[in-house]
């Protein structure tokens, strides 16, 4: 029963801390002392769980933003229509060009990074097998 209570406290603390809640507020929320929270934070596994939750939250947010990309691009194109004020059209055109260039650069960097990772992985294979 005590282990189950500690597990519940840890879950509350991990979620609160992953969301950016200050230690004092997280302690109150979990019903423990600040000292307990600081002690738990010294545990590498506890800290890793907080980081894992944070990473998952960032991944979810990125996925939600990605889902909105198509609509955002459509909006930029709509802002380029002749009926829209010239300054707005200019801004939309600049944004389309800027973002397309950035996306292309990111694509190129990803390809180069994958090639380098593959090259490193391939160069390490013979060394590992010759040592055996």
Q: What is the pTM of this model?
A: 0.58
Residue 1: per-residue pLDDT: 42
Q: How far apart are CA 100 and CA 131, in angstroms?
A: 47
Same domain, 72 and 60: no
Domain count, the chain: 2
**pLDDT score for 24:** 96
Mean confidence (pLDDT) of the chain = 89
Residues 60, 8: one domain? yes
On whether both 28 and 48 belong to a single domain, the answer is yes
Per residue in 15-70, pLDDT (tens digit) is 999 999 999 999 999 999 999 999 999 999 999 999 999 999 999 998 888 888 88
Co-location of 6 and 19 in the same domain: yes
State the residue for tokens 């907080």: 50
Q: Find the domain containing 113 and state its range.
A: 68-132
Q: Which of 67, 82, 117 is the last residue of a domain?
A: 67
| 61 and 98 assigned to the same domain | no
């Amino acid at each position: 029963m005590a282990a189950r209570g500690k597990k519940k406290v840890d879950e509350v603390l991990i979620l609160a801390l992953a969301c950016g809640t200050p230690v004092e507020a997280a302690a109150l929320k979990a019903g423990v002392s600040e000292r307990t929270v600081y002690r738990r934070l010294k545990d590498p596994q506890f800290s890793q769980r907080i980081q894992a939750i944070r990473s998952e939250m960032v991944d979810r947010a990125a996925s939600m933003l990605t889902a909105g990309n198509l609509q955002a691009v459509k909006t930029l194109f709509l802002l380029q229509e002749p009926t829209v004020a010239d300054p707005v059209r200019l801004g939309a055109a600049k944004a389309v060009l800027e973002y397309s260039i950035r996306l292309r650069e990111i694509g190129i960097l990803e390809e180069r990074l994958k090639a380098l990772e593959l090259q490193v992985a391939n160069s390490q294979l013979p060394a590992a097998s010759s040592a055996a």
